[in-house]
Chains A and B, each alone.
Chain A
Amino acid sequence: MKRTKSISGFTLVNGFIMIVVVLFTLYPFIYLVAQSFSSEAAIYNGEVSFFPVEFTTKTYEVILSKPDFFRYYGNTVLYSVLGTVIAVASTAVMSYPLSKAKLRLNKVFIPFVLFTMYFGGGLIPNYILVAKALGMRDTIWAIVIPGAISAFNVILMKTFFANIPNELEEAGRVDGLDVFGIFTKIILPLSKPILATITLFVIVGMWNNWFGPSLYLQSKEKWPIALYLKQIIDNAVSPTEIGAASEETSQIAATVKSAAMVLTSLPIICMYPFVQRYFVQGMMIGAVKG
């Protein structure tokens, strides 16, 4: 009797805490959306809290009617897709042999890879390497190659591969598959969760990347949306540039930041619930032993 009561009390408190966490997490998004649809006056007077005040879609209309925004968006899509293909493929190719205990040289290779998690060249040596020594400045390669493989992702994937029962590979070998065939026909199809996880990590990293592009890409036409967004937030984009008529400039100036933030994060927010199932699975299997 006493026990049941204490449980329900705890459940209540726990439920309350969870609601607080959910609100704390969601509120900034709600505020941004509300602000992006509100009038200039309402924003400057601090009247917006949960819902748009004096609803208007002006800013979205202006942003979405300009080709600029889509160009930066397109760049981001290109970098994300290409970067993800390169990163996931090379991570998988690397992780597979590293997951094989029978490979004696792994004793050398794994620490070699792991060490890079704890130490690296700094900002400047990396810049000199990528921009100067490799001549990747102002090219897409500077964005999609230097971060392609991370030790962390390799360890995750290696652990996942190591947990695939060996019998499956043996069966493949009996069927006459060579190492490459086993890898592509047996291992990869069984590894969807971890592939989805790494894909998500990389795609998000690429989508959100602004610092690399700010160092390596001078040509504005190659910028990804994240860097353009940073310019908007820093007020380095004039309302006229976005396409506002002169009487709209102050309204645009007041809401362009929140509207651009909403538009930029939208794809990630939309995509993420669908892959969440996979990445939780992938993280868990990869991490329990790792």
Chain B
Amino acid sequence: MAAYSQEHAADASPLWKHVRKEWKLYSFLVIPLLYFVIFKYAPMLGNVIAFRKYRGGPNIFGSEWVGLQYFEMFMKDPTFWRAFFNDLTLSVSYLLVKFPLTLLFALLLHEIRWMKWKKFVQTVSYLPHFISMVIVAGMVKEMVSLTGPINALLAKLGMEPIAFISLPEWFPTLYVTSGIWQSLGWGTILYLAAMTAINTELYEAAKIDGASRFRQALHVTIPGILPTVMVLLILDIGSILGSNFEKILLLYNPLTYETADVISTYVYRMGITGGNFSFATAVGLFEGIIGLILVTIANEVSKRTTKSSLW
């Protein structure tokens, strides 16, 4: 493999010598980096069709420049803005519920002394993370259907049945609850990992000071995992315009578009179903750029306030 020719042929510089010396290790990277170029960076380049009219080829980068035409179009489209705000609402409400619950659950798990029981709870609570979104959505539909267990419970309480799946006001609840179901356990793994890394002497010292377990958690555990908390929070903020596309696509219907339609599903309907490739790409690109900006801001803020950051 002519691997060493792949990078900077900066003649006779120390870097060149370095590459030459380590060429075997570098050669490992050739195919994977090529993979990244093709499957990650080429589609980024492909975003150019947001500014060009795509006509099905032969030029896969579109046939003529149209500038910001598609951006102007979607900016004027009330449906886009509805999707935009739905995205925000769903992600923020999910984040607000998930973040404290996961942290609390991790702290409680950490306090369990009976190891077998702890193990069992962990095993069970991680499980939903591995279940296909198709099944998760199917389960949600079965659980909340008019003949399902939730409505059966309502009936026992003497209440009228509720057609959850077709009522827009219920969609955020379904979205958040099923999200918690899927990720509550899984979300604790990194916290638990961080907790085991805390120096046990700190706990000893706290005990000598007469701190209760609650106070230990407050003054030792939480500060100990703060960097992890911050990193996860940054990641979550970065994806605040990235509500769970697959789940929404599987769960929503025209009756619930009002609260359920988000940017990615809007892109799907306009692009894949409607065949408006360029328009949909423009919307997707907009979403991607906002996400990038958000994660950068969150990272900076975190760097300044808590000294933990992604990069």
| B108 adjacent to A17 (CB under 8 Å) | yes
> CB of B200 within 8 A of chain A?
no
Take A25-B127, A125-B47 as given contacts and tell me if A31 and B143 are in contact as well, using a CB distance cutoff of 8 Å.
yes
On chain B, the number of residues with a Cβ less than 8 Å from chain A's Cβ atoms is 97
> CB of B196 within 8 A of chain A?
yes
On chain A, the number of residues with a Cβ less than 8 Å from chain B's Cβ atoms is 92
Query: Which chain A residues (111-150) contact chain B, with CB distance < 8 Å?
Result: 111-114, 116, 118-129, 132-134, 145-146, 148-149
> CB of B212 within 8 A of chain A?
yes
A226-B250 Cα distance, complex, nearest whole Å:
12
A124-B193 Cα distance, complex, nearest whole Å:
38
| B49 adjacent to A124 (CB under 8 Å) | yes
Question: Whole-angstrom distance from the CB of A85 to the nearest CB of chain B?
Answer: 15
A270-B28 Cα distance, complex, nearest whole Å:
35
Which of B31, B139, B184, B295 has the most CB atoms of chain A within a 10 A radius of its CB? Answer: B139
Interface secondary structure of B, over-half rule: helix
Question: Whole-angstrom distance from the CB of A60 to the nearest CB of chain B?
Answer: 17
| A180 adjacent to B134 (CB under 8 Å) | no
Chain B residues with CB under 8 A of A215? 272
- Give the residue of A6, A22, A44, A272 whose beta carbon is less than 8 angstroms from that of B212: A6
| B43 adjacent to A132 (CB under 8 Å) | no
> CB of B254 within 8 A of chain A?
no
- Give the residue of B35, B284, B287 whose beta carbon is less than 8 angstroms from that of A90: B35
- Give the residue of B57, B108, B142, B190 whose beta carbon is less than 8 angstroms from that of A132: B57
| A31 adjacent to B149 (CB under 8 Å) | yes
| B36 adjacent to A149 (CB under 8 Å) | yes
Q: Please give me the 7 A-B residue pairs with the lowest Cβ-Cβ distance, nearest first.
A: A121-B43, A122-B284, A125-B46, A208-B132, A94-B32, A284-B193, A125-B43
- List residues of chain B with CB under 8 Å of any chain A CB: 7, 15, 18-19, 22, 24-26, 28-29, 31-33, 35-36, 38-47, 49, 54, 57, 60, 105, 108-109, 111-113, 117, 120-128, 130-135, 137-139, 141-143, 146-149, 151-152, 155, 181, 184-185, 189-190, 192-194, 196-197, 212-213, 238, 246, 249-250, 264, 267-268, 271-272, 277, 280-281, 284-285, 287-289, 291-292, 295, 311
